[in-house]
Amino acid sequence: MARLPGVETPEQVVCHVDMDCYYAACERLREPELADEPLIVGMGYEAGEMHGAVATASYEAREYGVESAMAISEALELLPRRATADDPTDTGIYRPVDMAFYESVSEDVDEVLDDAAETVRNVSIDEAYLDLGDIAWDDAEAFGQQLKADIEASAGVVASVGIAPNMTTAKLASDADKPDGLVVVEPDGVREFLAPMDVADLHGVGPVTARELREMGFETAADIAAADEAALVDAFGERGRDLYAQARGEDDREVEPKGRPKSLSSESAFLEATTDVAEKREKVHALAVEVAERASAKGALYKTIGIKVVEPPFDVNTRAKSLSGPVDDPDLVTGVALDLLSEFEEPPVRKLGVRVSNLSFDDRDQASLDAWEQPESDGDDTDSDIRERHRSRSSGGQADLSEFE
């Protein structure tokens, strides 16, 4: 975003968080025995097949030349599929993408990020920017270390973190020491940090652009920073202008949330997996109250209420109830969530979550339940059915909800 003449770029402390080999890390979370194994996660891939493309390759698989976006058939030529545990060591393990599971782990990461900073810009399922406000640069490294530790403790995956005065440099910093890296670039060290960086490591530079830059005599970011900007623009258009600014550490963008949220959720883990029904219901009640309060504070209406139940070790179950229209009704959130929880009264549970989704930020007058026409029953519960069953359970053998308040 361009600034008016005479208006200085505001000082920022920007943190970029990037999960290391995220899909592979999630698969290892679910199957710890995959640790240290060459692991390939394929998009459009099915077990035993050759179609699809590599979504993520673990660092062990990359040593064999397997890269993201490579065809699975090509990856199999470099690293054959392991058929049995007795296969030779120069084989890999292939898994299909399980986006629902990866998103559930990402929710755990997001919860840590939201607690760590007031302003978070989620770029993708495994990447985000944080505006650290007025944190002192002397405290930046300690912040990064704590953030990494909190992510691993809460979500079980490892992140690389870069902290710098702007978004572009923060992202380059998070890439600079992967995996499990932490790089802090203070304002007076930006140019020094960028100078030796290979042109191929700059954002938006693929193999073709890197070759063209080298043919023009540019090997490092310092070479580009010292170049004539007009020559870069002539060669690459606006992308050349971006490369010039990037190499000089110039980026006046502010970290801003990316649109309105599509959902709001809250999760909490037990110290140990529990089968205690009252304990589970107490946890869900507290989470439902928290989520409903956050939705009200943001002016959000919701059409879907759901829960997440994680059974040991990381067996993620989700259930949801779609309503007949958008509401702001905390009691209904609690009632639906507890009703959905009833399916999981017996199995041990290590973590629970409550979510409201299909959010709407329209005129809140539409939120009156009394104004709706209830559809004819098709075997599903209506909103009033759930409320009534919720009330009867609370006054019966289940724990009294008033005890949780």
**193 lies in the same domain as 145:** yes
Closest of 263, 249, 322 to residue 291, by C-alpha: 263
Distance CA 245, CA 179 (A): 27
Closest CA relative to residue 143, chosen from 15, 10, 12? 15
Into how many domains does the chain fold?
Answer: 3
Best CA proximity match to 279, nearest among 184, 352, 369, 228: 352
Domain co-membership, 146 together with 205 = yes
Count CB neighbours of 398 within 10 A. 16
From 340, 129, 365, select the one nearest 254 (Cα to Cα).
129
* Residue 175 counted as domain residue: yes
Task: Please tell me whether residues 156 and 182 are part of one structural domain.
Answer: yes
pLDDT of res. 362: 60
Report the CATH number that the domain containing residue 346 is assigned in CATH. Answer: 3.30.1490.100
Is residue 6 in a domain? Answer: no
In a domain, 168, yes or no: yes
In angstroms, the CA 122 to CA 165 distance is 18
Cα separation, 227 vs 229, whole angstroms: 6
Strand partners, 95: 41
Q: Decide which of 187, 218, 247 is a domain's last residue.
A: 247
Beta bridge partners of 159: 19
In terms of phi and psi (left: phi > 0; alpha: psi -120 to 50; beta: otherwise), the region of 377 is beta
Question: Is residue 279 situated within a structural domain?
Answer: yes
Q: Are residues 92 and 107 in the same domain?
A: no
Residues 49 and 139 in one domain: no
Q: Residues with catalytic annotation?
A: 127
Q: Provide the CATH number for the domain around residue 48.
A: 3.40.1170.60
Q: Residue 281 — φ and ψ, nearest 5°?
A: -65, -35
Residue 85 confidence (pLDDT): 62
On whether residue 192 sits in a domain, the answer given is yes
29 and 154 assigned to the same domain = no
Q: Are residues 154 and 283 in the same domain?
A: no
Neighbours of 220 (CB within 10 A): 18
Position 186 scores a pLDDT of 96
> Which among 98, 122, 151 is the end of a domain?
98
In a shared domain, residues 92 and 118: no
pLDDT in tens, the chain (405 residues): 333 343 344 578 999 999 999 999 999 999 999 999 999 999 888 888 888 999 999 999 999 999 988 999 999 999 999 886 666 778 999 999 999 899 889 988 988 998 888 889 999 899 999 999 889 999 999 999 999 999 999 899 999 999 999 999 999 999 999 999 999 999 999 999 999 999 999 988 988 899 999 999 999 999 999 999 999 999 999 889 999 999 999 999 989 887 677 788 888 888 889 999 999 999 999 999 989 988 888 888 999 999 999 888 777 788 999 998 899 999 999 999 999 999 999 999 988 989 998 888 864 444 433 333 333 333 333 333 333 333 333 333 333 222 222
Q: How are strands ordered across the β-sheet holding 127-131?
A: 119-124, 127-131, 14-19, 159-164, 182-184
Residue 255 forms part of a structural domain: no
The secondary structure of 100-157 as a DSSP string is HHHHHHHHHHHHHHHHH-SEEEEEETTEEEEE-TT--GGGHHHHHHHHHHHHHHHHS-
Same domain, yes or no: 326 and 394: yes
Cβ atoms of 247 and 222 closer than 8 Å: yes
Domain extent, residue 65, equals 22-98
This prediction's pTM: 0.68
| Residue 183 near residue 163, CB atoms below 8 Å | yes
Q: What is the pLDDT of residue 315?
A: 79
Which CATH number characterizes residue 221's domain? Answer: 3.30.70.270
Inter-CA distances, 108 with 35, 131, 189, 310, 359, Å? 21, 19, 33, 12, 20
Q: Which of 75, 98, 121 is the endpoint of a domain?
A: 98
Give the number of other CB atoms < 10 A from CB of residue 264.
20
| pLDDT number for residue 107 | 87
pLDDT for residue 344: 96
Confidence at residue 232, expressed as pLDDT on a 0 to 100 scale:
94
151: in domain: yes
Same domain for 134 and 65:
no
Question: Do 70 and 166 reside in the same domain of the chain?
Answer: no
177, 57: one domain? no
Residue 4 domain-assigned (yes or no): no
Identify any residues that bridge with 71 across adjacent strands, giving them in sequence order.
Answer: 53
